[in-house]
Amino acid sequence: MDTGWEYLAEAHERLRWARLRAGYATAKAASESLGMKKDTYSAYEREPGKSKVTGLDHQRAIQFGRKFKVSWEWLLLGIGSPFSGVQTTYQERVMTAMSDAPEEEQERIAKAVEALLRTGTNG
């Protein structure tokens, strides 16, 4: 398990770590997936004191956190872990299915999921 995130003191370091962990090898790849210019995104990853640096604010932390599947609080402030309160893709699928189901079906679905978790599955 990657625990290198524990030693990242600055928001720009945490952002870079999150981008790389999410599979975006370059700032350009991340910026394209976010629909922004490379220079705009890169400014968030620049070290303070460098030219053309942009400090991370909570709006961008939320946007980048969603994209890179990390906690925006951790990204912005270093609070908790990158995974605090972040849903996995599977959890997101279950939540979407639940929210799309009629209200009367949601209880049945919840009980079915709970039963599956209690008994376990083999594939």
Give the Cβ contact number of residue 115 at 10 Å.
9
pLDDT in tens, 99-108: 777 888 888 8
- Mean pLDDT check: name the lowest of 3-12, 42-51, 80-89: 80-89
- pLDDT score of 99: 73
- Checking if the pLDDT of 88 tops 80, the result is no
3.40.50, 1.25.40, 1.10.260, 3.40.1350: CATH of 4-77: 1.10.260
What pTM value is reported for the model? 0.70
- Checking if the pLDDT of 34 tops 80, the result is yes
Residue 64's nearest CA partner among 90, 81, 50, 45 is 45
Domain ranges of the chain: 4-77, 89-119
CA–CA distance, 5 with 7 (Å, rounded to integer): 5
Query: pLDDT-derived band of residue 85, with 50, 70 and 90 as boundaries?
Result: confident
Name the amino acid, one letter, at 61.
A
pLDDT in tens, 46-72: 999 888 999 999 999 999 999 999 999
Name the amino acid, one letter, at 24.
Y
